[in-house]
Structure 1
Amino acid sequence: MEKILVLFKYYNDARLAIENFKSLKKRFDFEILPLYVKELKVPTGVTFLSPSMTMDILKEYEDEYIEDLKNLLKKENIEEELVVEIGINKDIVQEYLKKVDCLMLEEVEYLDEDFLDILKISYKPVIVVNKSVSKFEKIVIVSDDGVKINKSVNNFVRDFPQIKEVTLLSWNYKFEENNLLELLQRKGIKVKIEMLNQQFNTKDEFFEKMNKFDLIVMGNLSKSFFFERITKRMGIEIIEKAISPIFIG
């Protein structure tokens, strides 16, 4: 039985993460470890008051949020107690990852430093919740046949052995040799291939097709997210444009 660490933050939609976990539990019998990390500093962009006054207001808001979250978990028949820690988010998450098989967190609108730091330090697969609840049935793998997507797919196949059919979606990729396709077929997984390129398609068409699926499997980003952003690499764009949850292995 797999266990997932679900990280809640006061500025995110707890119900969306809970509903996605419930889908995982229903489909794959996952267990949950719910975690909330209290802020030690004023989040970036919150500057309408002095730092001390802002933190006082934030602590009061967080305490209220935590109580509401505990009540919501009970209402949704999740018996596991919410773990509340105080400290540096990424450090605490890194420690709790030792207890689980994967991590779920919600994407923030502008991919802030805290979100990206957690992606950088995670040594277990991550499910990024975006704007919808997945049934974890229709799976698309966004592939350039590189090392990172190969690693993600290998972890995905290991963690979700029930999945026996996927779509392999590519952008501007020459398909003559595809090791990932060979890997999937060797695992007994039926693969449908969809190829789009800038000669005949727009990127909007690519993202529209990608978002028709329940779950997007992609490779991990570079350790240098700033470089990814200024060079407009596809990994950043996938996270920003995705509606469906994303699996990053």
Structure 2
Amino acid sequence: MMRRVLLLFTSEGNKDSLIKSAKFLKENYGYEIRPVYVRDVQREEIIPTSVEGMVLDPGSGVMLTEWENLERDEVKHIQESLSQNGLENTLGKEIGFVSDVVKELLKEADVLILNKGDFFSENLISILKNQYKPIIMVGKNPLNFKTVAIATDDGTKINKSATNFCNLFENIETFTMISWNYKDEDNHLMRFLREKGKTITFENYQGDDGKESFYNRLKNFDLVVIGNLSRSYLFEKITRRKGINIIENAEATLFIG
């Protein structure tokens, strides 16, 4: 069965890691890659006063022209890099609010793959809040499944994410399930996955000291499966929910199903 990845490029993030991640999915799982570059209309409302060291006059048209020239070069570089990595599909180009464009294009894809970046951008928050298909957020290194963790509170959101991951990547048999202040004997997801034939190692961290160990441990994995956010990012931020902390601090690639 053919599955399709929507490969999202914007003016932010590491493009090379994204392309190598898409190549990994095509070569190892036969995914069709649909690359798209989205020019964010919000960006034109906040044009920087300098581009790569050049001071620009806010009162002239130079800023926008220089930005467009740089963007044109970037799009050309992305297309060349896609071809060099065996991803021959033409890079689509869209203009609009990034989250709105993604929401529409994702109707014809199985998975969205994007760059996590070093901080929570407004675009990323909007995409996560309106998620309805699995998302792979590429971290510092390109995607691979050598070591996979599941960060679990045994809730419905992580259950859904883990199930979607296993359905998309059926050959992954070994997982490390990591929890903070939760008992393994109560974990329904662990029992469910073991009944599916998966090999699960369970690690549970306790107390305030265990919290730091929990987050540090996640840095040792190539990919971490987490549950999706609620629609209220601000609520999760204020209450310091695990999902927000993981996304903000993780160096690994994240799967949100």
Is TM-score (shorter-chain normalized) higher than 0.5?
A: yes
Distance (whole Å) between structure 2 residues aligned to residue 188 and residue 174 of structure 1: 21
Alignment of 1:136-175 (within 5 A): 136-175=145-184
Q: Is the 8 A contact 2:158 2:228 kept in 1?
A: yes
Q: TM-score, normalised by structure 1?
A: 0.92
The aligned residue for residue 41 of structure 2 is: 40
Deviations 1:59-78 (A, max 9, x none): 22211111111111111121
SS at match of 2:42: coil
The aligned residue for residue 21 of structure 2 is: 20
Alignment-mate amino acid for residue 91 of structure 2: L
Distance (whole Å) between structure 1 residues aligned to residue 148 and residue 45 of structure 2: 34
Shift of residue 187, structure 1, vs aligned partner: 1.3
* Percent identity (aligned): 36
The reply to whether residue 5 of structure 1 matches residue 6 of structure 2 is yes
Shift of residue 45, structure 1, vs aligned partner: 6.8
Shift of residue 29, structure 1, vs aligned partner: 2.2
The reply to whether residue 116 of structure 1 matches residue 125 of structure 2 is yes
Distance (whole Å) between structure 2 residues aligned to residue 229 and residue 241 of structure 1: 13
The reply to whether residue 64 of structure 1 matches residue 65 of structure 2 is no
Greater CA drift, 164-173 or 44-53: 44-53
Q: Is the 8 A contact 2:4 2:34 kept in 1?
A: yes
Alignment-mate amino acid for residue 98 of structure 2: N
Q: Is the 8 A contact 1:108 1:115 kept in 2?
A: no
The aligned residue for residue 206 of structure 1 is: 214
Shift of residue 41, structure 1, vs aligned partner: 2.6
Alignment-mate amino acid for residue 82 of structure 1: L
Of 229, 233, 237, 1:225 maps to 233
Of 180, 184, 188, 2:193 maps to 184
Deviations 1:114-171 (A, max 9, x none): 1110112221100001111232131100000011101101111111111111111101
Deviations 1:20-40 (A, max 9, x none): 122222332222110111121
Shift of residue 12, structure 1, vs aligned partner: 1.6
Q: Is the 8 A contact 1:133 1:244 kept in 2?
A: no
SS at match of 2:120: coil
Shift of residue 176, structure 1, vs aligned partner: 3.4
Q: Is the 8 A contact 1:24 1:136 kept in 2?
A: no
5+ long unaligned stretches in structure 2: 50-56
Q: Is the 8 A contact 2:138 2:254 kept in 1?
A: yes
Shift of residue 102, structure 1, vs aligned partner: 0.5
Q: Is the 8 A contact 1:105 1:127 kept in 2?
A: yes
Distance (whole Å) between structure 2 residues aligned to residue 86 and residue 200 of structure 1: 47
Alignment of 1:118-133 (within 5 A): 118-133=127-142
Distance (whole Å) between structure 2 residues aligned to residue 103 and residue 127 of structure 1: 6
Q: Is the 8 A contact 1:27 1:136 kept in 2?
A: no
Q: TM-score, normalised by structure 2?
A: 0.89
Q: Is the 8 A contact 2:227 2:256 kept in 1?
A: yes
The aligned residue for residue 237 of structure 1 is: 245
5+ long unaligned stretches in structure 1: none
The reply to whether residue 195 of structure 1 matches residue 196 of structure 2 is no
